[in-house]
């Protein structure tokens, strides 16, 4: 009888230990899941912040580009004009013609202004009063590769 009680007590103790071990394993698994969820949440938050920072950088760059484009247009007599606005110009004592901002950027050998104008919707197919597109003008004025960056900007 005593032996049977001891065996029963031993069996109860083993069962308790097994239940305790199973409980610890469940708790450990739950802790691992929570850590993984937290790691994923932190990683997603970092990605979100990075996207926001990149978007802010793009907005700031776009604002700088627009400001620079506005200065270029104003400097060349296109103040308040759009990227495709025609401007009359004197071509001789008794003659006049017209030009566009892209043509002015080509004459200035300003590849950056060409890029800004194109990204702002400038039409690279418009012809000035000499019937030249901006690309044709750049090719005509090119001397020993001096317009290569402008030509690349117009061709790209």
Q: Domain containing 89 — which CATH number? A: 1.25.40.20
Local structure of residue 95 (DSSP, 8 states): -
Q: What is the pLDDT of residue 22?
A: 98
Q: What is the pLDDT of residues 56-105, one digit of tens each?
A: 999 999 999 999 999 999 998 887 666 667 676 655 555 578 889 999 99
Predicted TM-score (pTM) of this structure: 0.66
Percent of the chain exceeding pLDDT 90 equals 75
Shared domain for 88 and 141, answered yes or no, is yes
80 and 46 inside one domain: no
- Pair (85, 144) in one structural domain: yes
Per the CB < 8 A criterion, the answer to whether 128 and 100 are in contact is yes
Positive or negative torsion for Cα 71, 76, 77, 83: negative
Q: Are residues 80 and 151 in the same domain?
A: yes
Which of the listed residues 67, 98, 113 is the one where a domain comes to its end? 67
Q: Which domain holds residue 52?
A: 1-67
Among residues 10, 38, 67, the one where a domain terminates is: 67
Return the beta strands (E) in 53-92 as ranges: 87-90
Quote the number of domains for the chain: 2
If asked whether residues 113 and 146 sit together in one domain, one would say: yes
Q: How confident is the model at residue 3 (pLDDT cuts 50, 70, 90)?
A: confident
Look at residue 4 and tell me whether its pLDDT is greater than 90: no
Please check whether residues 81 and 150 belong to one and the same domain. Answer: yes
């Amino acid at each position: 009888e005593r032996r049977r009680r001891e065996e029963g007590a031993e069996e109860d103790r083993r069962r308790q230990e097994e239940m305790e071990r199973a409980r610890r394993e469940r708790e450990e698994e739950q802790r691992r899941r929570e850590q993984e969820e937290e790691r994923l949440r932190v990683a997603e938050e970092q990605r979100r912040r990075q996207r926001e920072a990149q978007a802010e950088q793009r907005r700031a760059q776009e604002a700088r580009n627009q400001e620079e484009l506005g200065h270029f247009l104003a400097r060349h007599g296109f103040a308040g004009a759009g990227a495709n606005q025609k401007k009359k110009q004197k071509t001789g004592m008794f003659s006049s013609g017209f030009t566009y901002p892209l043509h002015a950027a080509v004459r200035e050998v300003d590849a950056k202004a060409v890029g800004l104008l194109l990204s702002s919707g400038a039409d690279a197919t418009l012809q000035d009063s000499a019937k030249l597109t901006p690309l044709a003008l750049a090719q005509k004025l090119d001397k020993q590769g001096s317009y290569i960056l402008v030509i690349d900007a117009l061709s790209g």
